[in-house]
Amino acid sequence: MSLKVAVIGAGLGGLTAAAALYARGLDVTVHERGTALREQGVGMHLGPNGTRLLERLGLGPRLAELAVRPEALEVRAFHNGARVAEQEMGEAWERQFGAPYLTVHRGDLHRMLAALLPQERVRTGKELLRYEEGPGGVLLEFADGTTSVADVLVGADGVHSAVRRAVAGADAPVYSGNSALRGLVDAADVPSLDPRRMYMFAGPTSRVLCYPVSGGRQFTYVVVTPAAEGDAESWTSATDRADLGSVLAGWAPEVRELVGAAGEVRRWALYDRAPLERWSTPRVTLLGDAAHPMLPHHGQGANQAVEDAVALALCLAGAAEDARGVAAALARYEEFRRPHTTRVQLGSRTGRPAPREDGRPGGVKEAAEDVGWILSHDVEAAFAAPAPAAA
């Protein structure tokens, strides 16, 4: 008999955790409040730190088909589109970091992860109302009147996590002062942009990041711009396309071309939370946004959830199947992951690279160096490495 693990939330982190646990022989079930599996959003970045783990789960061929390995990041002047800097990526980064840097549509990755699990392992329409933790396990109560019992409860239910509130108490979101306007355009509608490359247009107060997804057939755009704090801590709020046009009025022709091609525009109010002092109790733990919601400036939110998922599976796969064994495994998971994710989370608050040696603001080279330690991280290798000797 193996440990019975209940995962709350069928987003990218929850499905990755379930796939990693299932691959290691654990009895895992995902409980999703929605009545169907779907992933809202547009594109996302998969750093080598996340890609290498997804490839080991068997997703390499599907990623090669549907994701894009950008050849380079071009930084262009906001007013006329002149290229001011370029960071080589593609094959060079794959050699440097040992796995590719990819851009992918969130929906594509979500479907890939769901396909790693038997259908009966994912239960929809299961909104968690409460749970009761005891020495013998965790009793889960759902809004539809049903209950379930598990040895371990994993909260992968996002920034508004009910499990997070139960484990760590209520906390206030921290507003960054910015919102992100996001959407998709067909690559054919923005012919001045090469679907093998990423682009950044940096303005005085706003910036535009544009990168290919869906095998290069589409571009995701993200416009980070100052905005007054609203009422909703949401990343899927609809907004008017006129807002996009207003923010980018007078920008380079390539940017205006993108605005003209834009359809539905979503506004993401950029909040995070202060790092938690603890993630776990003897039978309950957190991962992904439920544990460490972070701003997108390093493109690491989903990647850190993937790392969490694999680390948790490694800890639980070797756990003794009793209360003491479960508690020790969850404590090890938190001790292993929390310092790393705290550093990434806090670094993501600015996204600004370290200054150059002459004191001038850093550019794309310094930005790449700043995140190199994140991209090179191999959570499985780090888990297997011997613990440092005590001083």
Any idea which residues carry the catalytic annotation?
211
Strands, DSSP E only, in the chain? 4-8, 27-32, 43-46, 72-77, 83-88, 102-105, 122-124, 128-134, 137-142, 147-150, 152-155, 174-186, 198-202, 207-213, 218-226, 237-239, 265-272, 284-286
Tokens found for residue 43 = 């594109």
| Nearest CA-CA partner of 352 in 374, 370, 334 | 370
Report the C-alpha gap between 37 and 160 in whole angstroms.
18
Report the C-alpha gap between 107 and 390 in whole angstroms.
45
Using H for helix, E for strand and C for coil, what is the string for 342-367?
HHHHHHCCCCCCCCCCCCCCCCHHHH
Longest dimension (CA), the chain: 65
User: How many CB atoms sit inside 10 A of residue 114's CB?
Assistant: 19
What DSSP element (H or E) covers 339?
helix 323-347
Q: What is the DSSP letter of 214?
A: G
Q: Which residues contact 230 (CB under 8 A, 6 or more apart)?
A: 179, 237, 269
User: How many CB atoms sit inside 10 A of residue 357's CB?
Assistant: 7
Check: CB of residue 75 under 8 Å from CB of residue 200.
Answer: yes
| Nearest CA-CA partner of 343 in 381, 303, 294 | 294
Partner residues linked to 268 by β-bridges:
180
Report the C-alpha gap between 328 and 316 in whole angstroms.
9
Report the C-alpha gap between 289 and 8 in whole angstroms.
12
